[in-house]
Structure 1
Amino acid sequence: MNDYDVAVVGGRAAGASTALLLARAGLRVAVLERSPVGSDTVSTHALMRAGVLQLSRWEVLPALVAAGTPPVRSIDFAHPDGATAHVSLRPSPGVDALYAPRRHLLDRVLVEAAAAAGADVLHGTSVTGLLRDDDGRVLGVRAAGPDGRDAGVRAALTVGADGVGSLVARETGARTLGRGTEASALLYRYVSDLPVRGYVWAYGDGAAAGLIPTNAGETCVFVSTTPARMRTLRREGTAGAFERLLDAVPATVSDTVRSGGAGGRIHGWRGLPGYVRRPYGPGWALVGDAGYFRDPITTHGLTDALRDAELLSEAVLAGIDGSSPEAALAGYQLTRDRLSHALAAVTESVCRYDWDSDGIRTLLRRASSAMSDEVEHLSARLPPHPAVVGTSRGHPRPSSSRDT
């Protein structure tokens, strides 16, 4: 007998969203997250239109707005030749503005919504391994709670939402289907009192920067370049590297950053080439960075996580409703890859940092087209799956773990 229909390893954006949607549909869901509730994590925060659309459809966007997340209604681009472009965002159904919530807020709102829908959320719980049957099918997880004692959590399906170092991907041997060769190394900090109301993206001499308004009157300011150049610059100190890269982007942006209040602690990301993994197998599936990672230079990772949470939840529910579970998960993979391919290719090109003004304009147009295709796909979809008709309390009960 399974403890749960689905065990989700990881309670950040991808995992909490998946748990929320499946619990709302009536499944018995457990979320196992090693970090404390309300903790922060590395992020550029920026949500694109597709991500905001998902949050709006799930009715969790109002909580983020009520917590003081500022609306973003414009995007400014600064190019290497000094030219600038201003784009005003037009409201669309479900998206009156873009938002960039701090992760300690976004992840908490999502995981609380999952708990309100009936999911069991276990913070401070580290997954240490997978449970399997004699044929190697995943039957759940082994986990250590806050008291340090190991326990088994059995589930018909185990979802790895545990990031780039995914234990679920590693232990299942999830095959890498494609891997990039380029990466960005980033430094970022929060700066108060900047005169910034929208997203600002700047491209300069082998470097880029972004200004992203977020909560508490702060702006997330990042600078980025190739990992090799970042290693060289950081030999002279992290603060010096931040300033040198800020000097490499158009002065309209660097001067704006320096006009603000004191900057907070500098955080870093050394860079990792993008990859795509096969996101499912016997008794398991992957979502978020565990299954697909794209460099943060195009600030689309959070949007990917929310999108794929809905695609995966729909596939899981389709399998329960009567179609072949494996065929439904294969469809999840095909849709994920189709929606990701164009932007992944653009991101790889941006990460070379060898563009001139005309080159980066072309890449940005390609990125915008890819994002528009994604929004069109999501906008045409039905609302999230209604509750599944099952046994008591609306919970479907697979007769064995082999049913999912």
Structure 2
Amino acid sequence: MTDPERGTAPEYDVVIAGASLAGCAAAILLARRGVRVALLERRSDPAAYKVLCTHSIHAAAYPVLAELGLAAALEEAGAVRNTSYWYTRWGWIEPRPGPGGAELPYAYNVRRSTLDPLIRSRAAATEGVDLLLGHRVTGLLRDGAGRISGVSAGTPDGDVEIRARLVVGADGKDSAVAKLAGVAERRHENRRFGYLAQYRDLPLKGGVGRTWFLEPDMAYAFPNEDGITVLALVLDRRTRLAAFREDLEGSFDAFLRALPEAPPIDSAERVSKIIGMIDHPLITRAPTAPGLALIGDAALTGDPLWGVGCGWAFQSAAWLAESTAPALLSRTDAGPAPLDRALARYARTHRRQLRPHQQIAVEFASSRPFNAMERLMFSAAVRDPWSARHMHRFAMRLIGPLGFLNPVAVARAAYINLTHRAGRTPEPVGVTGAR
């Protein structure tokens, strides 16, 4: 594909930097709408994958997986539907189907070694997508008005320029595209550090994932495909880090063995190294600039504790495609105005959907125990099936913080806890919209 005004310089509607989850999803969804996409990946191996990840996709992203055709493919690959139980100081929260037996909303636990090559191969096979491996973005191109109009990239064969109407940064939390564009960002300290490892033949009760809220420490056990379970610790840096630096394996194993109803690691086989990250700040960036959009971790890097990164990557890619494809396909003489309006729609959606979740995560990243409202809601969820299902919907990001703390849910939690303290069995309480 050539542009006669620029000789042999390739011309696209969109150039995406980063062929991981967000970048591949955006490329597929845009190309299906008729948009021409250059998908750049700095690594040359099409089977490359992200190693440090929770390996979990929350249910709010399921519609995007279905649209991409990945839901059925993940089922075939053995991905595990990701219901989870949560341990608290009051006992276990165990969400179960409500009256009528409707299945709880789910997405999947799946290792990135399975997921990343799968979605990248689908992007490469999508008509309208050119997957360019071994292309590392080194600069941004701008038009006469200073608007971003493409990228320069280093390749094994030399430097190239790729022009496009829109540049998309899908290149992770340390986004080179965001830095080159001078996008404003806010960094919030995370006072927890984390390590994880993979185990084979590690049974979990009922086959259901487990999360331990130990205030301020946390742990989780998520079953994945091929009989692999991911175990992770997310711990307070002030009280735990020194011991882990002195003896990583010993401290990791000892902490797991001391968990309530601990996973039986001594009868399982650890099949990976213990890997982790000591400093993982929460990063919030402006999601757009003239000629530019950011998706996935490049736009918003959440706390790994909540396992939202994969889901937000898929969702932000879908929001971008839906918002911008009509403007990108327009061949009118209206200039950049239609695309700018489309980018503004994407930015509003991104902020409205994700910023409230991020604000809560930022505050919780101070490594504090539960606050009063959290104590109310979590303790009620231990004691009340409806509250447990409500908690599940929030954990799966199907409702936001305001929906989670709506007056009906808070009133019900208060009633459940008051009757518990009085030693009485709560009477059935009707809740509008209960699921």
TM-score range with shorter-chain normalisation? 0.7 to 0.9
Q: Name the aligned partner's letter for residue 243 of structure 1.
A: D
In structure 1, how many angstroms separate the alpha carbons of the residues matched to 2:275 and 2:285? 28
Alignment check: 8 A CA contact 2:288 2:343 kept? yes
Cα root mean square deviation, aligned: 2.8
Kindly tell me: are residues 260 and 142 of structure 1, through their superposed partners in 2, closer, same or farther at Cα, counting changes over 3 Å? Answer: same
Q: How many angstroms apart in 2 are the aligned matches of 1:183 and 1:53?
A: 33
Matched positions, count = 370
The answer on whether the counterparts of 2:59 and 2:105 sit within 8 Å (CA) in structure 1 is no
1:279 aligned to 281, 287, 304, which one? 287
Which ranges in structure 2 are unaligned for 5 or more consecutive residues? 4-9, 331-336, 379-389, 404-435
Partner of 1:154: 163
**After the TM superposition, which segments of 4 or more aligned residues of structure 1 sit over 6 Å from their partners?**
90-93
Whether 1:296 and 2:301 are equivalent positions in the alignment is: no
Secondary structure, counterpart of 2:160 in structure 1: strand
- Equivalent residue for 1:262, pick from 270, 274, 291: 270
Aligned counterpart for 2:349 among listed residues 332, 335, 347: 335
Identity %, equivalent residues: 28
Aligned CA distance change for structure 1 residues 229 and 127 (closer, same or farther; 3 Å): farther
1:325 aligns with 2:334: no
Query: Of 372, 377, 396, which aligns to 2:398?
Result: 372
User: Which of 206, 211, 217 is the equivalent residue of 1:201?
Assistant: 211
Matched, 1:21 2:24: no
| Aligned-partner SS, 1:77 | strand
Deviation at 1:164, TM superposition (A): 0.9
Question: 2:198 & 2:371 partners in 1: Cα distance?
Answer: 28
Deviation at 1:342, TM superposition (A): 2.7
Counterparts of residues 53-68 of structure 1 (less than 5 Å)? 53-68=63-78
Deviation at 1:96, TM superposition (A): 6.8
Residue identity in the other structure for 1:155: A
Deviation at 1:350, TM superposition (A): 3.2
The residue type paired with residue 203 of structure 2 is: P
| Aligned counterparts of 1:110 and 1:363: Cα–Cα separation in 2 | 37
The DSSP-based 3-state class of the residue aligned with 1:11 is: coil
How big is each residue's C-alpha offset from its partner over 1:230-257, in whole Å with a ceiling of 9 and x where there is no partner? 5312331221331344356x321x3434
Residue 360 of structure 2 is aligned to residue 352 of structure 1: no
Matched ranges for 1:5-404 at <5 A? 5-35=13-43, 36-41=45-50, 42-72=52-82, 74-81=83-90, 83-88=91-96, 97-118=106-127, 119-145=129-155, 147-176=156-185, 178-196=186-204, 197-204=207-214, 206-246=216-256, 250-252=259-261, 254-320=262-328, 324-355=338-369, 361-362=375-376, 368-369=393-394, 371-373=397-399
Secondary structure (helix, strand or coil) at the match of 1:316 reads helix
Cα distance, 1:37 vs structure 2? 1.2
Q: Tell me, what secondary structure is at the counterpart of 1:163?
A: coil
Gaps of at least 5 residues in structure 1 are 378-404
Deviation at 1:319, TM superposition (A): 2.4
Q: TM-score, normalised by structure 1?
A: 0.83
Partner of 2:433: none
The answer to whether the 8 Å contact 2:14/2:38 transfers is yes
Conserved? CA contact 1:77–1:84, under 8 Å: yes
- Code of the residue aligned with 1:335 in structure 2: it is T
The alpha-carbon deviation at position 368 of structure 1 amounts to 4.4
Higher Rg of the two aligned structures: 2
2:48 is paired with a residue whose SS is: coil
Q: C-alpha distance in 2, partners of 1:130/1:150?
A: 13
AA partner of residue 332 (structure 1): Y
Report if aligned partners of 1:183, 1:348 keep a CA contact under 8 Å in 2: no
Instruction: Tell me if structure 2 keeps the 8 A contact 1:20–1:110.
Output: no
Q: CA deviation at 1:359?
A: 6.6
| Partner Cα distance (1:318, 1:153) in 2 | 22
